[in-house]
Amino acid sequence: MAGEGPGFQDTIKLLYGYLPEQRKIVGMEILDSRETPGLGDKIFKDKDFVANFDGLAVDPQIKAVKKGSKSAPYEIDAITGATISSKAVVRIINGAHAKWDKRL
């Protein structure tokens, strides 16, 4: 599924995989981003951040939390120093999911 929305610097465009019968995200890839080099660009360069989206529950809604404090299946560890970019990815996926979930 595709999604896009504002990041810290500019629009972030992404794709994510979704299994409706399991209500889980099965991967995410950033297609286009102009986030700050060395910080915000970690939304696609940091393998741990990207791995947050493998098997991620969408209910009640995906939430970004401080790195190391993830405790629920719908939470992702935000990137230290790039919280706005991390939360932007979450907001984009939550928005796209709300739009498309009813159609699946």
Query: Residue 65 above 80 pLDDT?
Result: yes
Spatial separation of the C-alpha atoms in residues 88 and 21, rounded to whole Å: 26
pLDDT at 102 over 90: no
When pLDDT is averaged across residues 12-16 and rounded to a whole number, the result is 98
> pLDDT class for 103, splitting at 50, 70, 90?
confident
| pLDDT value of residue 14 | 98
Give me the domain span that covers residue 18.
2-103
Both tokens assigned to 38: 């060395």
pLDDT average, residue stretch 78-99: 96
Q: How many domains does one find in the chain? A: 1
Q: Could you give the percent of the chain with pLDDT greater than 70?
A: 100
Is the pLDDT reported for residue 68 higher than 90? yes
